[in-house]
Structure 1
Amino acid sequence: MSVNTLIFAHRGAKGTHPENTMIAFQTAEQQGADGIELDVQLSKDGVPVVIHDETVDRTTNGSGWVKDMTYQELQTLDAGSWFDPSFTGQRIPTLNEVLAWVRDTPLLINIELKNGIVPYPNLEQIVIDLVHRYQLEKRVILSSFNHYSLVDIHRLAPHLETAILYMEGLYEPWHYARRIGASALHCYLPAAVPKMIEEAKRAGMPLRPFTVNREEDISSLMQAGCAAIFTDWPERARNIRQTLSHS
């Protein structure tokens, strides 16, 4: 049985390492992930930084909104010890730092623009410019829950792949995605029912559910021929894919 489902490490190897840190991304590559997924926001002085929440409270030893802190202020925060003391000293990376590293790996990279709550000015162009700087056009997917942002990206850089993020069981979402210039579906796991996977394949649009962590879900999606999954446990997913491929 040939299993071709790609494995994206959700915020890096988030199950075993502090999310959205360089150590989490590097570990995901070592564990055999095909790609990494990360979140990008802007500091007060316009530097694109890699962090999921709009505030730093949950994943650092600091407190406050990302948008209200300068890059230098963000760099003083510890982004590892909240997860485990052994990761003390991990920092919030910049998108520039991650892309410079990714360029020398075989990894795909999904950049989620976190602009649904805070409307970061010019975030789309800033991200696009960095993708071009590191010549990652063929390896990048830009996604967002803010679909107005995806329309802007498609207008600015129609050659880059964009994907709609959504939670609900939308009807034939590939039609909507194409209408806004997107070419992939990144749905919440419960929306990835077998019929949806089959119809998305027939429509020629990759379906990549998030966040797929249970072994039975990983296995069933891979056996159904899902294009890719986002998982906190890339090593687990890789082992399941190897087992299925040899069965």
Structure 2
Amino acid sequence: MNGPRPLVFAHRGGAGALPEHTLAAYLRALDEGADGVECDVRLTRDGHLVCVHDRRLDRTSNGRGRVSAKTLAELEELDFASWHPAAATEALQADHVRLLTLERLISTLRDHGGPVRLLIETKHPSRYGAEVERRLVEMLHRYGLAKPKPNDPIQVTVMSFAALALRRIRRMAPDVPTVYLLDIVPPGVGRGRLPFGARIAGPGISLVRSRPQLVSALRAAGHQAYVWTVNEAPDLDLVLAQRPDGIISDRPKFVLDRLENVPPV
């Protein structure tokens, strides 16, 4: 490859190896050399930001109902690990597979040592609307992450499929980079335009398969591009040919190992 290799991000902490959005997954991804990690955040009924992808609890816990209808205390009573195959084969520390709050994730990344990038996706639609971004920016200010400096141990980027959410971040924390996530090509984006507030394009792998020149077009227009969720060898080869800036994967070690063996061009 010409130039630096793309950054590799562990999607939901590296959901292929360990239960997604658990501290166990994030710590393993860091130990395996991931450049950064990705998480989704939702607000609980009592206003806490928690790392859960789905609107409902059914898939990744033994609970039922919506995350937004539960208090933090109620969510902390649930099992967020047993559904994953690794729970039956690995000795996972109990404290590392419980519900993960964004605050605990940030604290862990800060204490882990070494620079790390954190991609935070705000999930919409949400019954709490703009409160999700407001609470997030408050937390970034509290940890000194809303005005990033080159030597900060954690570099935060906010992502969303909702252009309005990115506008809110741009207004409240203009120095924080933002990614506009794409599963379709809205008008103008195919020619390299991104909505106001977005600084990085985030096309999904299905979109890249159907529009194999999209990443190149976005980069030619001066935008960075992070592609998600790249888990298989043919997809990785397709994406690498477009020279993306970042690759988000459930299998970060697989991507890192492949990158080590990619011959220069």
Normalized against structure 1, the TM-score is what? 0.92
> Which residue does the alignment assign to 1:132?
141
1:10-25 matched pairs, under 5 angstroms: 10-25=11-26
- The answer (yes or no) to whether the contact 1:143–1:164 under 8 Å persists in 2 is yes
- The 5 A counterparts of 1:97-136 are 97-104=104-111, 105=113, 106-136=115-145
Q: Which residue of the other structure, out of 221, 226, 236, is the alignment partner of 1:203?
A: 221
1:162 and 1:182 in contact (8 A); partners too? yes
Alignment correspondent of 1:244: 262
Q: What SS class does the counterpart of residue 207 from structure 1 fall into?
A: strand
SS at match of 1:128: helix
1:169 CA displacement: 3.2
What is the percentage of aligned positions where both structures have the same residue? 31
Residue 227, structure 1, aligned to residue 245, structure 2: yes
Residues 46-66 of structure 1 show CA distances to partners (whole Å, capped at 9, x for unaligned) of 011110011111101111111
- Superposed displacement of residue 187, structure 1: 1.2
Q: Contact 2:41–2:52 (CA<8 Å) still a contact in 1?
A: yes
1:59 matched to which residue of 2? 60
Residue number among 102, 107, 111 corresponding to 1:95 in the alignment: 102
Size of the aligned set, in residue pairs, is 246
Pair 1:215-2:222 in alignment: no
Gaps spanning 5+ residues in structure 1: where?
Answer: none
Give me the whole-angstrom Cα distance separating, in 2, the residues matched to 1:224 and 1:246.
14
AA of the residue aligned to 2:167: V
Q: Is the 8 A contact 1:79 1:92 kept in 2?
A: yes
The Cα shift of 1:191 comes to 2.2
1:88 positional shift: 7.9
CA RMSD of aligned residues (A): 2.0
Q: Name the counterpart of 2:152.
A: none
- State the alpha-carbon separation in 2 of the partners of residues 133 and 117 from structure 1: 24
Question: 5+ residue gaps in structure 2?
Answer: 149-154
Counterpart contact for 1:79–1:88, Cα < 8 Å: no
Of residues 81-90 and 107-116 in structure 1, the stretch that sits farther from structure 2 once superposed is 81-90
Q: What TM-score does the superposition give when structure 2 sets the normalisation length?
A: 0.86
Q: Separation in 1 of the partners of 2:187 and 2:33?
A: 34
String of CA shifts for 1:120-168, please: whole Å, max 9, x gaps: 4511111112122223343111111122111111111111111111211
Matched position secondary structure for 1:198: helix
- Distance of aligned partners of 1:170 and 1:49 in 2 relative to their CA distance in 1, 3 Å threshold: same
2:166 corresponding residue in structure 1: 150
2:151 alignment partner in structure 1: none
